[in-house]
């Protein structure tokens, strides 16, 4: 009898162990399904891109008829914005997608994965991957400008009937995750931190009839207000860039580097020339015009000292990529290193209005074609 009871107890224990094991497996499956559902757009996008039938490429790429084009890179691909359509191409010149955006005043900004198109003075904005639209959304007030993060977050600055400006941040699904209403100051520039968890905002206010400009930091998980606010002078901030060693700010009279955690100005420099272009990228450089209208390309060192400078006759566009500066003129594409020594010169077969650098190639925009040049 005891042996039979022992066997029954053993069977019950084994059944219970089997039951809890099955429950654990079921729970794990449910958790996996939940994670897949939450991250579906991130999982499916690469699979959709891999399955694209992009057709035949080749250069030059003939462009559809339009009054204006904006050329930019999109990771290993390039994209074009016209007054009616948004096009994406792979690096071999094959069209991947073309979408009618339906905006009156479309503006494009990109990162390595996403393209943001917004309607300046309108209310709509759209986020795209290389294969097509990710989402389309709108805001209640008209858009002044917008900016994309390093991943898929978007900052949208709007006019406001109650405030000077409103700043909205949306995640990769188009859901609003942050809002700041600026009561007295106009928002001029925004830039995301490298991890996309903070946003730096350049604003303009006034005191005693004098314009005053500040840079502020907001953490997107904290809705209590700015983390810090730093006065940066009486001139509008043209550009903000987030680098490893701080926030690089450019205005009409100089440059400054701010500590990302405290807002302290750790380095600064002034100039008398007019800022013409800001190439961006890992090299801190400015293309400026002197009082005689001559172009001067200047590179700044870690302490924002003017480390190198070169005079240029005519410049169409300056781009920074691959620790190089690429200067487009009517006849040539000239490559400079950080010390502004010429490392390569390429003769051009046509007149180009813009360029972007992808890998070891330059993509050049003509009036109705895009050409590729091996670097």
Cα–Cα distance between 147 and 13 in angstroms, integer? Answer: 61
pLDDT given for residue 45 in this prediction: 46
pLDDT given for residue 46 in this prediction: 46
- Under DSSP, is residue 3 helix (H, G, I), strand (E, B) or coil? helix
pLDDT given for residue 8 in this prediction: 59
Residues 6+ apart with CB under 8 A from 219: 197, 198, 227
Cα–Cα distance between 32 and 17 in angstroms, integer? Answer: 23
Q: Where are the domains of the chain?
A: 1-38, 271-375
Cα–Cα distance between 42 and 21 in angstroms, integer? Answer: 31
Does residue 335 contact residue 322 with C-beta atoms inside 8 Å?
A: no
Phi, psi for residue 150 in degrees, rounded to 5: -75, -15
Cα–Cα distance between 88 and 79 in angstroms, integer? Answer: 4
**Residue-by-residue pLDDT tens, the chain, 375 positions:** 555 555 556 556 666 776 677 777 777 777 767 765 555 545 444 444 444 444 567 899 998 877 789 999 999 999 999 999 999 999 999 999 999 999 999 999 999 999 999 999 999 999 999 999 999 999 999 999 999 999 999 999 999 989 999 999 999 999 999 999 999 999 999 999 999 999 999 999 988 889 999 999 999 998 788 999 999 999 999 999 999 999 999 999 999 999 999 999 999 999 989 999 999 888 999 999 988 889 999 999 999 999 999 999 889 999 999 999 999 999 999 999 999 999 999 999 999 999 999 999 999 999 889 999 999
Does residue 229 contact residue 214 with C-beta atoms inside 8 Å?
A: yes
Candidates 83, 89, 90; CA nearest to 65 is 83
Q: Which CATH class is domain 271-375?
A: mainly beta
Does residue 118 contact residue 112 with C-beta atoms inside 8 Å?
A: no
Cα–Cα distance between 157 and 339 in angstroms, integer? Answer: 37
Cα–Cα distance between 57 and 94 in angstroms, integer? Answer: 4
Does residue 368 contact residue 60 with C-beta atoms inside 8 Å?
A: no
C-alpha distances out from residue 236 to 165, 212, 246, 253, 260, Å: 16, 8, 19, 9, 20
Structure pTM? 0.84
Does residue 62 contact residue 369 with C-beta atoms inside 8 Å?
A: yes
Instruction: State the DSSP string of 58-85.
Output: -SSEEPPP-S--EEEEETTEEEEE-SSE
The single residue listed with the structure tokens 């400079």 is 336
């Amino acid at each position: 009898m005891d042996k039979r009871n022992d066997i029954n107890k053993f069977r019950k224990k084994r059944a219970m162990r089997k039951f809890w094991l099955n429950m654990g497996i079921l729970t794990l499956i449910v958790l996996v399904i939940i994670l897949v559902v939450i991250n579906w757009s991130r999982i499916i996008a690469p699979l959709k891109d891999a399955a694209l039938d992009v057709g035949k490429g080749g250069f030059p790429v003939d462009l559809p008829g339009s009054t204006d084009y904006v050329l930019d890179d999109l990771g290993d691909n390039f994209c074009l914005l016209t007054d009616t359509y948004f096009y994406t191409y792979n690096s071999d010149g094959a069209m991947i997608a073309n979408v009618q955006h339906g905006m009156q005043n479309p503006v494009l900004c990109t990162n390595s994965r996403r393209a943001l198109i917004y309607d300046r003075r309108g209310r709509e904005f759209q986020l795209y991957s290389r294969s097509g639209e990710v989402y389309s959304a709108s805001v209640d007030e008209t858009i002044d400008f917008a900016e994309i993060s390093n991943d898929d977050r978007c900052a949208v600055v709007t006019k406001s009937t109650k405030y000077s400006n409103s700043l909205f941040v949306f995640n990769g699904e188009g859901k609003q995750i942050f809002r700041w209403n600026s009561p007295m100051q106009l928002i001029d520039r925004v830039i995301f931190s490298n991890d996309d968890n903070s946003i730096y905002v350049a604003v303009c206010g006034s005191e005693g009839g004098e314009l005053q400009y500040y840079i502020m930091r907001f953490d997107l998980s904290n809705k209590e207000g700015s983390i810090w606010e730093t006065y940066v002078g009486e001139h509008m901030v043209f550009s903000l860039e987030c680098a490893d060693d701080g926030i690089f700010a450019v205005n009409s009279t100089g440059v400054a580097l701010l500590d990302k955690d405290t807002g302290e100005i750790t380095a600064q420099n002034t100039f008398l020339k007019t800022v013409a272009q800001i190439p961006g990228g890992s090299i801190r450089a400015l293309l400026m015009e002197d009082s005689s209208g001559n172009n001067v390309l200047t590179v700044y060192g870690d302490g924002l000292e003017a480390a190198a400078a070169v005079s240029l006759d005519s410049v169409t566009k300056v781009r920074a990529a691959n620790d190089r500066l690429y200067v487009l003129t009517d006849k040539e594409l000239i490559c400079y290193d950080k010390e502004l020594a010429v490392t390569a010169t390429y003769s051009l077969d046509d007149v180009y209005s813009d360029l972007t650098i992808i890998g070891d190639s330059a993509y050049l925009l003509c009036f109705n074609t895009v050409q590729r040049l091996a670097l």
